[in-house]
């Protein structure tokens, strides 16, 4: 089965075990779990990780997990927020281990103002936090990836060159989760961001937008020229996850996008 699938967040109100049934039905080989479920409201919607692992194994579905995002900042200068963010991330990693997750995605963090000293201190905090997380992912035999964000002035890394330099300080131990939509909104643009990060990418989040905001549209409904990347997507050996927000259309765009990705992997040129 191809390493193509969708995020749990694309299904909105559907929980993990049902999402795996849907993935099997739709021929998806990857499901990305929502790590926040393990740390919000005492984990009441997280579901039994052993049941999730067994069902994923039964269906031959590879599990990835997006580490917690809600109220999380791994670069925070506020000691309480910083320590709580690390604690929440570690709790989600333990849940991921029990689910059989093979790869996790983290966000770089935020800064309150763009001042060189604030940014320097935030980078140091982020590095320290990621070193702790990396120790656990290596122990659990998971791959740790960091996602390109650069959506607004609060994002720690606005320039892809700064993001890449930071990642390289980990000597290849942390890879890139490349988000097409985020790159399209960033000041550096999609093409430059892709070319800079391409050697480091092991996981992809894919969705569309019009270059102004992070809309999470189905493929072909924004202004991203996906045809430019057909060959590279076809030959990409990592995992590709759709992050589509079209539940109001009964997920028609999500399933169409999934079928188009399958066609790309098969060497066809879908009409995107």
The owner of tokens 């929440």 is 88
Confidence class for position 1, pLDDT limits 50, 70, 90:
low
User: Is 62 inside any structural domain?
Assistant: yes
User: Is 69 inside any structural domain?
Assistant: yes
Helix (H) or strand (E) holding 103: strand 103-106
Q: Is 145 helix (H, G, I), strand (E, B) or coil?
A: strand
Q: Are the beta carbons of 105 and 145 closer than 8 angstroms?
A: yes
User: Is 176 inside any structural domain?
Assistant: yes
Domain count for the chain, please give it: 1
Structural domain of 155: 4-249+257-265
Gyration radius (Cα) of the chain, Å: 18
| Rama region for 176: left / alpha / beta (φ>0; ψ in -120 to 50; rest) | beta
User: Is 86 inside any structural domain?
Assistant: yes
How far apart, in whole angstroms, are the C-alpha atoms of residue 34 and residue 99? 12
What percentage of the chain carries pLDDT values higher than 90? 90
How far apart, in whole angstroms, are the C-alpha atoms of residue 106 and residue 47? 21
Q: Are the beta carbons of 185 and 152 closer than 8 angstroms?
A: no
Strands 103-106 and 62-66, by their bridges, are parallel
**Mean pLDDT taken over the chain:** 95
CA angle, 265 then 148 then 165, to 5°: 115
Q: Report residue 159 as tokens.
A: 């320039």
Mean pLDDT across 187-210:
98
How far apart, in whole angstroms, are the C-alpha atoms of residue 238 and residue 4? 9
Phi, psi of 152 (to 5 degrees): -155, -175
The owner of tokens 């005492």 is 42
Check pLDDT > 70 for residue 272. Answer: no
How far apart, in whole angstroms, are the C-alpha atoms of residue 222 and residue 77? 36
| Rama region for 47: left / alpha / beta (φ>0; ψ in -120 to 50; rest) | left
pLDDT tens across 207-259, in order? 999 999 999 999 999 999 999 999 999 999 999 999 999 877 789 999 999 99
* CATH number assigned to the domain comprising residue 245: 3.20.20.150
pTM for the structure as a whole:
0.96
User: Is 270 inside any structural domain?
Assistant: no
User: Is 188 inside any structural domain?
Assistant: yes
29: Cβ contacts below 8 Å, ≥ 6 apart: 1, 2, 3, 4, 5, 23, 60, 61, 62
Q: Report the pLDDT value the prediction gives residue 150, as an integer from 0 to 100.
A: 85
Q: Report the pLDDT value the prediction gives residue 265, as an integer from 0 to 100.
A: 87
Which has the closest alpha carbon to 87: 55, 32, 132?
A: 132
């Amino acid at each position: 089965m191809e390493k193509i699938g969708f995020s749990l967040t694309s299904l909105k109100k559907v929980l993990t075990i049902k999402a795996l049934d849907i993935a099997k039905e739709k021929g998806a080989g990857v499901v990305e779990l929502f790590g926040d479920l393990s740390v919000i409201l005492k984990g009441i919607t997280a579901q039994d990780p052993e049941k999730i692992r067994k069902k994923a194994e039964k269906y031959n579905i590879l599990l990835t997990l997006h580490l917690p995002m809600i109220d999380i900042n791994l670069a925070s200068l506020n000691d309480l927020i910083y320590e709580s963010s690390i604690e929440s991330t570690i709790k989600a990693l333990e849940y991921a281990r029990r689910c059989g997750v093979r790869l996790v995605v983290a966000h770089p963090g935020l800064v309150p103002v763009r001042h060189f000293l604030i940014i320097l201190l935030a980078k140091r905090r982020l590095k320290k936090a990621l070193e702790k997380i990396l120790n656990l992912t290596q122990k659990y035999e998971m791959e740790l990836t960091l996602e390109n964000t650069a959506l607004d002035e609060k994002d720690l890394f606005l320039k892809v060159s700064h993001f890449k330099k930071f990642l390289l300080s980990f000597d290849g131990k942390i890879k890139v989760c490349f988000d097409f939509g985020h790159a399209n909104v960033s000041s550096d643009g999609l093409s430059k961001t892709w070319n800079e990060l391409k050697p480091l990418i092991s996981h992809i989040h894919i969705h569309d937008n019009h270059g102004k905001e992070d809309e999470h549209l189905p493929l072909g409904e924004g202004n991203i020229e996906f045809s430019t990347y057909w060959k590279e997507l076809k030959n990409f050996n990592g995992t590709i996850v759709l992050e589509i927000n079209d539940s109001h259309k009964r997920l028609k765009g999500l399933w169409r996008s999934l079928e188009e990705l399958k066609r790309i992997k098969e060497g066809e040129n879908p009409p995107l």
